[in-house]
Structure 1
């Protein structure tokens, strides 16, 4: 296990107009599982490659256990990496692939055999040791790639979108496998993905990136419930947070409110937290997760506002139904119970749980502190 500190990491490619990485600062504790997440082209894989030493940085420090390794060769950084493409040697058996790194380090054969058997048993691939990669399924190949990394027992593990080539069912199974391994081994892991479900389920902390910049670093709960801005709020969650643009007014009692309009142009008044009184006359954006717009809320904790909404589209998922409605001419997702007897086109009374709402400045798109 090791600590990792990324200090003002910058990366500019030759002949490029813009920086790919723009001063990334992240500190990772020993044994922590950090996930880098963001859309394609945000710089997360580039950042991963700079940690591994596969790409040079333009400036900054990469500190592993107190040692700056930014100028150290990849082989001397004591890092193991699991690639998206598995990168197995096709002419070697599973045993040979797992043992390869150990042989390079001239480990005694007896220790190599013991380590291969340990890793194979842990990953439940001991019955595959004499097969070649061409005889394995995608999930089995991924476990072999993980086994090769685990056998080295390095200070730091890097996973670069390791599950993206697997089908949906296998991705779920491999997520469970990786989670169990981390709990057993308490290893330090940096994991890159564009899949926000992987990020939410696996990470101790999540680093959300956009255009080479770190947008937010926090626990899955913090990222989900208290996003720094509309980008983070919209990127994390499935379905993602819905945004309702509106203007703050004061009612006859000098309380802050907004007026929202349903698909059939009915007006509804929604009360806001007292702290938003200072936004009187300003445009804001209300962010609500689908589970915070539903047919029934826990009345003890919810601050509920009843709104009649036309259900334009219903998407049954099994445990719930995702309904799409229009609020202020914007499409909004709601999460309904499968027992709620409604059809597409119905107008139904739904409740906004304003205690869970997140508010953003309509201009800067940054979260308003309330």
Structure 2
């Protein structure tokens, strides 16, 4: 295990004035599982390659356990990387693939055999050791790629979208295996993904990156409940957070806003006192689907609760719940309803809006309003 510190990391290719990385600062504790998320082309993989030493940074420093490795060769950083493509040697058996890095390091044969067996047992691939990669499923190949990295016992593990080539069922299974592995070994892991579910379920902390900038660094709970920007709020969560335009009304001590259905029905919702300073102005209410539900008896009468009638546009049963689409203030809004609560597309339904976990944004601005 090792600490990893990134200080002011910038990356510019050639003579281009367009920076791929724009001053990234992240301190990763020993044994921490950090996930980098963001859209394709945001700089996640470039940052990962820079940590590994596969790319040189234009500015900034990389420290491992306090030692500056910014200009160190990849072999001198004691880092193992698991790629999206697995990169297994097709002519070697699983045993030989796992042992390859250890042979390069001239480890004694008996120690290599012991280490291969340890890793194979850990990943439950003992019965695959004499097979070639072509004889393995995608999930099995992924385990072998992980095994090859684990056999080296490096200070830091880097995973670059390792599950993106797997089908949905295998992704869930491998996600569980990776989490179990981290809990068992307590290793320091930096993991790149574009899959927000992977990020939320695996990470100790998440770094959200867009256009080479670090927008927010926090725990999954912090990122989900207190997004720093509108982009972060919309990127994390499925279905995504809805943004409803509101005009702040009411008295300074009791600001409020109207929610208007597609049929013209209106209901007033209470707003935090802080928003009184926006009186007469438009803001955007950010609210997640699970906070717009069918009426719930245990929430009736609570201060931050409002109810109204809204026409249901579309329903999407998922099994444990029903995702319903309605329109509020001329905006598509997702709700999460109990599967036993009957609603029909095209028909009005009574909905409850819980504003206790809502967030707010100034119209035209990215940053969240601090309440």
TM-score of the aligned structures, taking structure 1 as reference length:
0.98
Show the counterpart of 2:94.
94
Which whole-Å deviations, capped at 9, do the CAs of 1:175-200 have from their partners, x for residues lacking one? Answer: 00000000000000000000000000
- Which whole-Å CA distance do the structure 2 matches of 1:291 and 1:254 have between them? 28
Show the counterpart of 2:247.
247
Shift of 1:261: 1.1
- Which whole-Å CA distance do the structure 2 matches of 1:307 and 1:369 have between them? 27
Task: Tell whether 2:299 aligns with 1:316.
Answer: no
Between 296-305 and 12-21, report the one with greater CA deviation: 296-305
Q: After the TM superposition, which residues 6-17 of structure 1 pair with which residues of structure 2 at under 5 Å, given as runs?
A: 6-17=6-17
Between 360-369 and 292-301, report the one with greater CA deviation: 292-301
- Give the number of equivalent residue pairs: 369
Show the counterpart of 1:143.
143
- Which whole-Å CA distance do the structure 2 matches of 1:266 and 1:299 have between them? 22
Task: Tell whether 2:78 aligns with 1:78.
Answer: yes
Give yes or no for contact 1:102–1:151 (8 Å, CA) kept in 2: yes
Cα pair distance change 1:302/1:288, threshold 3 Å? farther
- Which whole-Å CA distance do the structure 1 matches of 2:79 and 2:253 have between them? 60
- Which whole-Å CA distance do the structure 2 matches of 1:228 and 1:182 have between them? 28
Show the counterpart of 1:265.
264
Task: Tell whether 2:352 aligns with 1:351.
Answer: yes
Between 148-157 and 12-21, report the one with greater CA deviation: 12-21
SS at match of 2:222: helix
TM-score of the aligned structures, taking structure 2 as reference length:
0.98
Shift of 1:29: 0.2
- Which whole-Å CA distance do the structure 2 matches of 1:132 and 1:102 have between them? 19
Shift of 1:363: 2.4
Give yes or no for contact 1:302–1:353 (8 Å, CA) kept in 2: no
Give yes or no for contact 1:234–1:241 (8 Å, CA) kept in 2: yes
Between 298-307 and 169-178, report the one with greater CA deviation: 298-307
Shift of 1:279: 1.3
Shift of 1:302: 7.1
Q: After the TM superposition, which residues 14-163 of structure 1 pair with which residues of structure 2 at under 5 Å, given as runs?
A: 14-163=14-163
- Which whole-Å CA distance do the structure 1 matches of 2:157 and 2:122 have between them? 17
Shift of 1:343: 1.2
Which consecutive aligned stretches of 4+ in structure 1 deviate over 6 angstroms post-superposition?
none
Task: Tell whether 2:277 aligns with 1:278.
Answer: yes
SS at match of 1:41: coil
